[in-house]
Amino acid sequence: MRIQTFARGLGQIMLQESSITGMLFLTGIAVNSLVLAAGAVLGNLVGTLSGRLSACDRDEIAKGLYGFNGALVGIALLSFFAPSALVVGCIIVAAASSSLVMKLMLRATQLPPLTAPFVVCTWLALLVGDAFSLPSPNALPSTLASNDIAAIARGAGQVMFQESAISGALFLAGIAAHSRQSAAWCILTSAFGLVFGRGIGLSDAMGASGLLGYNACLAGIALQGTAWGAFAPLLGACFAVLITCAFHVTGLPALTAPFVVASWIVLIAVPEKEGSEGTSTESIGSRSDGNRVPKHRS
C-alpha cells in the first residue's frame, strides 16, 4: 500500500483528498492519545486492504475512500472500550465491513455515503462489545477552558473523538493545507453549532467539549458549493445540531449520524446547480484549491 493512499484515507475523514492533511490529522490524534492514533492506523489499513481484496475501484482506493470509515471505526471502538485482543478483533471485522458497506453504497445510491458505513458498523460493534461486557477505557484528562475559541476548535477535534483544542487546531491546519475555504466553513459551522445549540437550551458542557460543533462542521464542509450557496452549509449545521440533540435524549451514541442525515436531507432538497455536469451530490468532497470542487463522493 502506498503511503499516499494510507494518508489520504485519514484526510478523507473530513473530506480532504490530501496526504498532507491526513498526516496532520494523525498528528492531531497522537498528541492527545497514542492509543486512539493506533486505532486510526489499524482501522485505516484494514479498511483499505479490504477494499483491495473486494476488488473495489482502484482510483477510489487511491483517493482514500476505503480507509476513512475504517479509521473512524478504530478510533471510536478504542474510545468506548479499553484495549484488548477482543477489541482489536472487533476493529478488524468492523473496519473491513465498513469497506463492503461503502462499496455497496457507492454503487447502489446516488446520495454520497459520507460516514454512514462507519456509523452502521460501529453501532453493531458496540452491541457486540456490550454483549461481552467489555470494560471502558481510562478517561483522558479533561481541562475544558471556558472560552469559545477553544470550544470551536474542539468541535473540529470531536470529529475524531478528540476533546482537545490542540488536536482540533491541528485538524483545522490540516484542512487549511488542502483547502482554506473548507477550513473557513469548518470554523464557521462549528461556531454556528455552538451558538445554535446554546440558543435551543443545550448544556454548556456539550458546547465546551465540542459536541455541538463536530457534526455541524462536517456538514459545513460537505455542503459548500451547492446551488443554495452559503445557506446549505448553515442549514445542514442547524439540522445536525437538532439531530444531535435527539440522540442525546435517547442515549444512543450519535457518532457522525447527525452529519450524515442532515447532509442527506439538504442534498435531497437542493436543486441541481446550474451549469453542473451532474447532481449536486457529485460535488461533495475534497477541494483541490479554493475555487474548484472536483467530483467526489466521500
CA–CA separation, 11 and 50 (whole Å): 18
> How much is the average pLDDT of 214-222?
98
pLDDT tens, position by position, 236-246: 999 999 999 99
pLDDT tens, position by position, 106-146: 999 899 999 999 999 999 999 999 999 999 998 766 666 66
**Amino acid sitting at position 75:** I
Which residues, including other chains, have CB under 8 Å from residue 266's CB and lie 6 or more apart? 219, 223, 226, 228, 232, 235, 236, 239
Query: Crossing angle of helices 68-80/3-11, nearest 10°?
Result: 60
* pLDDT in the model for residue 297: 36
* pLDDT in the model for residue 272: 72
Q: How large a percentage of the chain has pLDDT more than 70?
A: 89
H-assigned helices in 114-255: 116-131, 148-157, 165-178, 180-199, 204-209, 214-223, 231-250
Q: Say if CB 47 and CB 11 are below 8 A apart.
A: no
> How much is the average pLDDT of 156-176?
98
Per CATH, 3-131 and 148-275 having the same topology is answered yes
pLDDT tens, position by position, 255-298: 999 999 999 999 999 987 654 443 333 345 443 333 333 333 33
CA–CA separation, 226 and 46 (whole Å): 33
- Residue that wins the pLDDT comparison between 295 and 204: 204
If you search the block for the grid coordinates 492527545, which residue do you land on?
A: 32
* pLDDT in the model for residue 139: 76
Tell me the average pLDDT of the chain. Answer: 91
> How much is the average pLDDT of 185-190?
98
* pLDDT in the model for residue 1: 73
**Cell numbers linked to 169:** 487546531
Dihedral class, residue 295 (left if φ above 0, else alpha if ψ from -120 to 50, else beta): beta
CA–CA separation, 14 and 100 (whole Å): 20
Q: How confident is the model at residue 40 (pLDDT cuts 50, 70, 90)?
A: very high
Biggest distance spanned by C-alpha atoms of the chain: 54
**Cell numbers linked to 49:** 486492504
Q: How large a percentage of the chain has pLDDT more than 90?
A: 84
Contacts 24+ apart (CB under 8 A), 128-136: 128/90, 129/77, 129/80, 129/81, 129/86, 129/87, 129/90, 132/86, 134/81, 134/82, 134/84, 134/86, 134/87, 135/81, 135/82, 136/80, 136/81, 136/82
- For the whole model, what pTM was predicted? 0.91
CA–CA separation, 279 and 291 (whole Å): 18
* pLDDT in the model for residue 190: 98
CA distances for 182 relative to 91, 167, 221, 288, angstroms: 30, 17, 5, 10
CA–CA separation, 179 and 92 (whole Å): 32
CA–CA separation, 69 and 97 (whole Å): 10
Q: What does the domain layout of the chain look like in residue ranges? A: 3-131, 148-275
Q: Say if CB 213 and CB 193 are below 8 A apart.
A: yes
Q: What are phi and psi of 64, to 5 degrees?
A: 90, 10
* pLDDT in the model for residue 271: 82
Per CATH, the homologous superfamily of domain 3-131 is Ammonium transporter AmtB like domains (1.10.3430.10)
Q: Would you tell me which CATH number, out of the four given (3.90.330.10, 3.40.50.300, 1.10.3430.10, 3.40.50.10490), belongs to the domain 148-275?
A: 1.10.3430.10
CA–CA separation, 119 and 257 (whole Å): 6
Burial of 53 (0-12, 13-18, 19+ CB in 10 A): exposed
